[in-house]
Amino acid sequence: MTSIASNLQIDSARLWGTIHETAKFGATPKGGVRRLTLGDEDRQVRDWFKTACEAAGLEVHVDTLGSMFALRKGRDMTKPPVGLGSHLDTQPTGGKFDGVLGTLAALEVVRTLNDAGIETEIPICIVNWTNEEGSRFAPAMMASAAYVGDFTVDDILSRKDADGVAVADALDAIGYRGDSPVGRQRFSSFIELHIEQGPILEAEGKTIGVVDSGQGVLWYDGKITGFESHAGSTPMRLRRNALATLSEIVLAMETIAKKHGPNAVGTIGEAVIAKPSRNVIPGEIAFTVDCRSADAAIMDALDKDLRAAIGEISARRNVEATLDLVWRKPPTHFDPKLVAAVEATAKKLGFSHRRITSGAGHDACNLNTKIPAAMVFVPCKDGVSHNELEDATQADCTAGANVLMHTVLSLAGVAS
């Protein structure tokens, strides 16, 4: 690498500025962001991103699931590019950094290379993946999953949100059903920068997390059917209460996850009473379950224990309960050579670092099943994410973006 490239630093103020500029698309009163995938705020940030990428000289194309690809040419265009990026959609009460940091740091890397007049040997390509969050349409990370062939494109296009709107219609509504076939844009490798979304780096005073693995995920849709009846006149012993049943299931989930801990977590994040009324005993409830572990055997045990608990609780309470597995993502083991490249870069740049397992799912986890992938983490305040209070320091975001840039340069090579 030439010395100009080896001393290169991203523009910290410019990166920080873009993070805060895009946070206005879906800004919430508490300082967070609500930018559900394929909604109008998502269209606004996508338009902003496309304009910024084109202004940086990138060729932008959009695939049929709306993922955006922005290509910076390299000297050898016969080689697939090094991919970098993340996502710009957020949770309903999300923060300014989850996904945004990785996508805008990728843009910042390109802007920095442009300013320094650096051409890479292999092209590089920034990606904004559609629907990483999975809160409007399930599953999470659906576009990168289709990219690697885990789902068909038609299956994903037909997935519906809670209002019955299909992905295909939501894409058309914001003008982002592109014409590039899913999977056409090839990559030689993929690197994603992200906030940790957990407490480890901050607690240990480390700047960079070298992500070598990621938890597997089990997502379920559940339903409990009891019997609606009068809240005043139905004796306690005759009730078939769906909400009381769910309460026991919620506590059972906690007990099961703790039993398999520390390497297991389990959450019931959504529960909807079918026809809620103050003086009616709840008769029907739909709920979701999210269980995770980095150990495949523990994932199997979580599944077995949860099904057994639901069976026992519902039989005892004389209600019907169903639990449908809607998504199973095995644990991720990132590409050892790429992980070593991230580690070597963090070391070379003089940042404190440690290996870490990702608690959250990421598009890089999907990509890793087909191409070498790795991730760079930076700390976030109090380990909080999926919350409007999510925060990270400018210095840590800058450090992460510099590790991203120099890892990409080590993979793409500087044309001499």
Spatial separation of the C-alpha atoms in residues 129 and 101, rounded to whole Å: 13
Residues 146-205 close enough to bind Mn ion by CB under 5 A: none
Q: Counting contacts by CB under 6 A, is residue 142 touching ligand GLV?
A: no
Least distance in angstroms from the C-beta of 278 to ligand GLV: 33
Residues 86-115 close enough to bind Mn ion by CB under 5 A: 98-99
Q: Which is nearer to ligand GLV, 132 or 335 (CB)?
A: 132
Q: Which is nearer to ligand GLV, 366 or 398 (CB)?
A: 366
Least distance in angstroms from the C-beta of 397 to ligand GLV: 18
For residue 206, give Cα distances in angstroms to 170, 182, 282, 377, 379: 41, 37, 48, 10, 8
Least distance in angstroms from the C-beta of 183 to Mn ion: 22
**Residue 93 tokens, joined:** 């009460």
Residue 140: contacted member of ligand GLV, Mn ion, none (CB under 5 to 8 Å, by partner type)? ligand GLV
Residue 81 exposed, middle or buried by CB count within 10 Å (0-12, 13-18, 19+)? buried
**Are 134 and 87 a contacting pair, CB within 8 Å?**
no
Least distance in angstroms from the C-beta of 141 to ligand GLV: 7
Q: Counting contacts by CB under 6 A, is residue 361 touching ligand GLV?
A: yes
Least distance in angstroms from the C-beta of 249 to Mn ion: 25
The torsion defined by the Cα of 258, 247, 215 and 184, in degrees rounded to 10, comes to 180
Residue 273: contacted member of ligand GLV, Mn ion, none (CB under 5 to 8 Å, by partner type)? none
Full DSSP string of 344-359? HHHHHTT--EEEEEES
Of positions 360, 375, 399, 408, contacts ligand GLV by CB under 6 A:
360
Of positions 41, 42, 133, 284, contacts ligand GLV by CB under 6 A:
133
Q: Counting contacts by CB under 6 A, is residue 68 touching ligand GLV?
A: no
Spatial separation of the C-alpha atoms in residues 76 and 115, rounded to whole Å: 21
Among candidate residues 415, 413, 367, the one with its CA nearest the CA of residue 85: 367
Q: Which helix (H) or strand (E) holds 69?
A: strand 68-72
Spatial separation of the C-alpha atoms in residues 231 and 238, rounded to whole Å: 11
Least distance in angstroms from the C-beta of 182 to ligand GLV: 20
Q: Counting contacts by CB under 6 A, is residue 390 touching ligand GLV?
A: no
Task: With H, G, I as helix, E, B as strand and everything else as coil, classify residue 135.
Answer: coil
Least distance in angstroms from the C-beta of 178 to Mn ion: 22
Q: Counting contacts by CB under 6 A, is residue 140 touching ligand GLV?
A: yes
Block residue for tokens 């957990």: 198
**Are 362 and 328 a contacting pair, CB within 8 Å?**
no
Q: Which is nearer to ligand GLV, 71 or 141 (CB)?
A: 141
Spatial separation of the C-alpha atoms in residues 167 and 173, rounded to whole Å: 10
The count of residues interacting with ligand GLV (CB under 6 A) is 4
Residue 363: contacted member of Mn ion, ligand GLV, none (CB under 5 to 8 Å, by partner type)? none
The site map against Mn ion for 293-312 (x = CB under 5 A) is --------------------
> What does the binding site for Mn ion look like in residue numbers (CB under 5 A)?
98-99
> What does the binding site for ligand GLV look like in residue numbers (CB under 6 A)?
133, 140, 360-361
